Amino acid sequence: MSKTVVVGLSGGVDSSVAAAILKEQGYNVIGLFMRNWDSSTNNDVLGNPEVDDDVCSQEVDYQDAEKVANKLGIPIHRVDFIEEYWDNVFSYFLEEYKRGRTPNPDILCNKYIKFDAFIKHAEKFNPDYIAMGHYARVTHGEETKMLRGVDGNKDQTYFLSQLTEKQLSKVLFPVGDLDKSEVRAIAHKYDLATKDKKDSTGICFIGERDFNKFLNNYLPSKNGNMVTLEGEVIGKHNGLMYYTIGQRKGLGIGGSNKFGNEPWFVVGKDLEKNELYVGQGFHHPVLYTDSCFVEEINLINMKKFSGKFECTAKFRYRQSDVPVYIEFINDDILVTFKEDVRAVTPGQAAVFYDGDVCLGGGFIKEAYKNGVKRKY
């Protein structure tokens, strides 16, 4: 008897091809489309390019998912997780911005929606597995391990680092062994409606927005001074939440005769004074740190350990791996870098790897240089 798998059909090419591969492999495939955002309910007006559209992009995505399901001859269902998304993902997202940090909603979206609410809802179909179109790999054996996707440019384990071994034990990633070009080729082979569809970008399940205006729907902005580390005021900022450590674009201050012509970058924040610290030069020394504390730890296969463990880490999605040592200090992890790292930003994820195996990770709490906490 065929095993049953419920596939998260998003209306994109990756999940479409995941469903096609599973059908070809002989699984009994059921499609499930998630709707997690409602612009009218959630007051998503400012910065929303679709606000006057007759049909929102999520409805277009559902129609595309439905076309794919019909082409493959599989059933498709839809479910709303609008409340769960607001409570578990978006509320956290807003709270982090209030704290002056830079959150990553995609990671929480995977943890609480795609691999929690989705799995619970899918149980009504009594599946053996659930599947998603992520670029990652899972090995099922005595223990379940998550490995980077074969396509290093598309690998999404960074965003999946908060998943548990239990969650992953029931998961299949059919496109994790493929390059993006191979995924497109399979979509063309099956003549799927999504074969040439552009990849989605923007905030998880919300999409493209004018970010500053979008945040203004939910958080009041508070203007303040841009200051050098020496305390000299050189401009105004529009609200600390709009800036991240290491940012250059959007500061509105060019070089000047007084300061020279080197570009300016965000090098720190002071929430109490509502001041944004700026400094000149991509390699400004204050942007570099040698260690950080990471909180909200999730280790996929490892238990809490004593002593130091050598591995690599990513502090941003597109960043190359950095060699590090990690050790538990109470419930947090102290990460010590073998070489200084630029723009390690509180609120972002720190994800640990042993070769291709993703060990898990947490969220950056504080960054340090020579034992002194940076004003991030």
Regarding whether 126 and 19 lie in a shared domain, the answer is yes
Q: Which of 76-85, 99-108, 341-350 has the lowest mean pLDDT?
A: 99-108
In this structure, the answer to whether residues 148 and 270 fall within a common structural domain is no
pLDDT score for 54: 61
CATH number of the domain within which 102 lies = 3.40.50.620
131 and 259 in a common domain: no
CATH number at residue 292: 2.40.30.10
Q: How confident is the model at residue 254 (pLDDT cuts 50, 70, 90)?
A: low
CATH of the domain at 256: 2.30.30.280
Averaged pLDDT for residues 246-262: 79
How large is the average pLDDT for residues 293-308?
A: 93
Q: Are residues 292 and 235 in the same domain?
A: no
As a whole number, mean pLDDT of residues 1-14 equals: 95
Q: Mark which of 256, 280, 304 sits at the end of a domain.
A: 280
**Residue where a domain stops, chosen among 212, 242, 271:** 212
Q: What is the pLDDT of residue 28?
A: 98
Same domain for 23 and 153, yes or no, is: yes
Residue 287 pLDDT greater than 80, yes or no: yes
- Give the pLDDT confidence score for residue 221 in this predicted structure: 86
- Per-residue pLDDT tens digits for 183-213: 999 999 999 999 999 887 666 657 667 777 8
Domain count, the chain: 3
Catalytic (active site) residue 109: yes
| Candidate list 109, 292, 311, 358, residue with the active-site label | 109
Domain identity same for 342 and 306: yes
Domain check: are 167 and 294 in the same one? no
Q: 156 and 273: one domain?
A: no
Of 161, 193, 212, which residue constitutes the final position of a domain?
Answer: 212
Over residues 140-150, mean pLDDT: 95
Contact of 212 with 237, CB cutoff 8 Å: no
Q: Domain range holding 160?
A: 4-212
* Residues 269 and 310 grouped into a single domain: no
39 and 151 in a single domain? The answer is: yes
Same domain, 142 and 268: no
Mean per-residue pLDDT over the chain, rounded:
92
> Which residue of the set 204, 292, 311, 358 is catalytic?
204
Q: Give yes or no: residues 193 and 262 share one domain.
A: no
